[in-house]
Structures are given as structure tokens and as C-alpha cells.
């Protein structure tokens, strides 16, 4: 039996997304395909598999990305699919827990990768904002005000996202001073 769910997660909520996908698996719904906001599940033995997602260094469809996916699959996990640079993996947990990272350094590198993706987007939006506002002031057309408001909202969201991901990195780095 299959079912489809539509759900939106912000990039910085990837841990929440992962938790949700794992709670679906615990209820007997294994993730079998993903696309933008769309998750497809197939019934499975409750709690028989675990899901992990990861933002890859390269596009999952590139040679480099495929090489990595092949490596993960060699270890008994299955590649479910990807949304932009995010890859989704599923693994039968009868052989033990499923993780993609086993130390703090690699988790820090992952978070840095997400920061590197968000930062240019935030900078573009911040640069765009004054342009939108002056455009509205000069022309006075109300549509332009909405445009500026939209850019402001996106900028605020990106800023918030950077803050969240930054906090994750700080927490991990603090922990790293004490242990691996």
C-alpha cells in the first residue's frame, strides 16, 4: 500500500524533517520517493527502517554525487532520491542503527555546507532590498511595495535560517573542544 504526503520544511529544519520521516517509518511507512514538498511512502514493518538526509557536496546527479551515493549504497543503505542537493537514504535497521556521520567533525562540515548555500542567497536578498524600496519610492506604484515587502520577508527568513544553522555549528564546535 502506498500513500503520499505533502509537507514543507525549511532547509534549516532538516533535522525535524528527518525526525518526521523516521516517525513515519516507526508507524510502518517507509519513504520510497521524494520531490519538492512531496513524500511518497510504502507500508513496511513498523520500525524496520531508518531514514537519513544529507546535503551533498555536489549535485546528486553529478558524477561526484553518484560516486558518493554508490559508496553509501555499498554499505547496505538505499538511495531514495533527491531534492536539489539533498539526498535521502533509507536503511534496514536489523543490522543496527543507521547514521551517515559518526563524528563531530563530519557533522560540522555538513552544517558548514548548508551555511555556504544560505549565505549567498541571504546576501543577494539584502542587496536587492534597497533597490526594491527605491524603485517603489520613485514610482509609487503599489505593486512595487508588495514586491519590496516580499523581498524583505525572504531576507528575514534567510537571516533567520543563517542564525539557526549558525547556532547548530556553534553548539557542535563547542562540543568538539571536549570530544570527537
Partner 1 sequence: MAEQENIVLTEGVYYILLALTRPLHGYGIMQRVDEMTAGRLRMAAGTLYGALNSLQEKGWIRSAGAQEGRRKEYVLTEEGRVVLEADLRRLEELVENGRCVLGRRKE
What is the rounded CA–CA span in Å between residue 149 and residue 62? 37
The minimum distance between CB 85 and partner 1, in angstroms, equals: 14
Write down the least CB distance from residue 94 to partner 1, Å: 15
Query: How many residues make contact with partner 1 (CB under 8 A)?
Result: 21
Interactions with partner 1, residue window 62-121 (CB under 8 A): 68, 70-72, 74-77, 96-97, 99-103, 105-106, 109-110
Residue number with CB closer to partner 1 (72 or 124): 72
At what angle are helices 142-176 and 104-139 packed, to 10 degrees? Answer: 160
- Report the alpha-carbon distance of residue 135 to residue 67 in Å, rounded: 47
Output the DSSP codes for 128-146.
HHHHHHHHHHHH--HHHHH
- Count Cα atoms within 13 angstroms, Cβ side, for 157: 13
The residues in 46-65 that bind partner 1, with binding defined as CB under 8 A, are 54
Q: Which residue, 4 or 94, is less far from partner 1 as judged by CB? A: 94
Q: What is the smallest separation between the CB atom of 77 and partner 1, expressed in angstroms?
A: 7
The 3-state DSSP class for residue 180 equals coil
Nearer to partner 1, 20 or 68 (CB): 68
In this complex, which beta carbon is closest to partner 1, that of residue 83 or of residue 147? Answer: 83
In the complex, least distance from residue 52 CB atom to partner 1, rounded to whole angstroms: 8
At its nearest, how many Å lie between partner 1 and the CB of residue 126? 32
105: alpha, beta or left? (left if phi > 0; alpha if psi -120 to 50): alpha
Query: In the Cβ-directed half-sphere of 152, how many Cα atoms lie within 13 Å?
Result: 9
Nearer to partner 1, 66 or 162 (CB): 66
Polymer length of the chain:
180
Which residues in this chain contact partner 1 in the complex, by CB under 8 A? 54, 68, 70-72, 74-77, 96-97, 99-103, 105-106, 109-110, 180
Amino acid at each position: 500500500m502506498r500513500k503520499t504526503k505533502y509537507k514543507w520544511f525549511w532547509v534549516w529544519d532538516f533535522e525535524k524533517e528527518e525526525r518526521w520521516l523516521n516517525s513515519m517509518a516507526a508507524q510502518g511507512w517507509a519513504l520510497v520517493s521524494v520531490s519538492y514538498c512531496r513524500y511518497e511512502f510504502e507500508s513496511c514493518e513498523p520500525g524496520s527502517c531508518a531514514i537519513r538526509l544529507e546535503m551533498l557536496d555536489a549535485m546528486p546527479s553529478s558524477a561526484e554525487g553518484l560516486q558518493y551515493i554508490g559508496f553509501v549504497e555499498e554499505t547496505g543503505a538505499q538511495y531514495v532520491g533527491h531534492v536539489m542537493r539533498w539526498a535521502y537514504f533509507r536503511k534496514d535497521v536489523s543490522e543496527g542503527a543507521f547514521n551517515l556521520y559518526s563524528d563531530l567533525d563530519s557533522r560540522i562540515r555538513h552544517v558548514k555546507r548548508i551555511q555556504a548555500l544560505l549565505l549567498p542567497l541571504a546576501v543577494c536578498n539584502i542587496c536587492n532590498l534597497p533597490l526594491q524600496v527605491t524603485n517603489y519610492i520613485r514610482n509609487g506604484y503599489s505593486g512595487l511595495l508588495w514586491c519590496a515587502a516580499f523581498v524583505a520577508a525572504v531576507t528575514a527568513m534567510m537571516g533567520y535560517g543563517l542564525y539557526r544553522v549558525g547556532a547548530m555549528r556553534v553548539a557542535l564546535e563547542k562540543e568538539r573542544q571536549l570530544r570527537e
